[in-house]
Amino acid sequence: MKRSISILGATGSVGEQTLDLVRRNAESWKVTALTANSNVAELARAAREFRADIAVVADERYLGDLRDALAGSGIEAAAGRAALCEAASRPVDITMAAIVGCAGLGPVMAAIEQGGTIALANKEALVSAGEVMTAAVAKHGATLLPVDSEHNAIFQCLQGGEIGDVRSITLTASGGPLRMIEDLSAVTPEQAIAHPNWDMGAKISVDSATMFNKGLELIEAHHLFPLKLDRIRIVVHPQSVIHSLVEYRDGSTLAQLGPSDMRVPIASCLAWPARMDTPMEPLDLPAIGEMTFFAPDEVRFPATRLAREAAEAGGAAPAVLNAANEIAVAAFLDRKIAFSRIAVLVENVLNQNDLPDAPRTLEEVLRVDEDARRRATRILEPV
């Protein structure tokens, strides 16, 4: 029997890799909804190939182009935030939530409210609205499966174990492409997105370079796995072979190892609680030779410190951190600020004394996000 799937963010890196796995197992899947921000050509091509029921483009200006691209296919075309949420709310066996940034929060919540299974590749949504999202998951009986390689690794290491027996969890970080570069102020966008191990989109690649990606993952882990923040650790592991570790009370430490390819954690979620084939070659440990580990340098890369402080502060702080970082990264990619100013801008926004109260609903989360973006935009400084 075929399983149904919707992919939110189908033209991004995670979305494309999800479609690759679906393509390789076409007899097992029925694609219901595909969405994209503005890449009409790729969205329409994928919708036609997989015979989706509906294709949605977030930017309403491209609705006419999408309709033209899908003409004669029988595939429904729609556009805008409301259409994204409507598509996400359609009942399916699994929803791949891969829209980057807080823009994915509304569609993720719409999928959660259907009580289905959500493979979450959008860490920003859980960072910005952790309490709101986890409460909605409990209320609607939804299942949240982590797609991020680190959280998926923890999820796998916890199978057969009890969270009450866990002493600590450790997220690994590659350190990104800039770990050995001395003058971070001169880093270009091209350097920042040239990740040595992973094939990711521009925003996530910059987050990896600044270590904000790991900071956001720390907050995400705090919501996914009920441990105190001081029991969630980060270690730099440049080879990206071990994706996370779980230490148990008896001294045993379980680690999940795998290739640096997102199709591995995606497949884990698509097949859960079973397993499925992927095109990945087995690890060749002799060829890898050695694995090294370092403590994060929070002086040169303060993002993990800022994220931990935001998580400890709670309330609106994580949502503010995420929004300010999105503005700062966009400014860096547009060459409006230096790489070294990204963390400075985020810290400046977090240090403002009149931050909003803790959000309790989706609407309040979105207002906090909008307010933080305005604050970050006001204090943007040119290079």
Residues at the binding site are: 11-14, 39, 122-124, 148-150, 174, 195, 201, 208, 213-214, 217
Phi, psi values for residue 213, rounded to 5°? -55, -45
Maximum separation of any 2 CA atoms in the chain, in Å: 62
Residues annotated as binding site for NADPH?
A: 11-14, 39, 122, 124, 201
Annotated binding site for Mn(2+): 148, 150, 217
Task: Please report, in range form, the residues annotated as the binding site for 1-deoxy-D-xylulose 5-phosphate.
Answer: 123, 149-150, 174, 195, 208, 213-214, 217
Q: Which residues, in sequence order, are CB contacts of 139 under 8 Å at separation 6+? A: none
Pairing of strands 3-8, 29-36: parallel
d(CA 242, CA 237): 8
Cβ pair 108, 123 in contact under 8 A: no
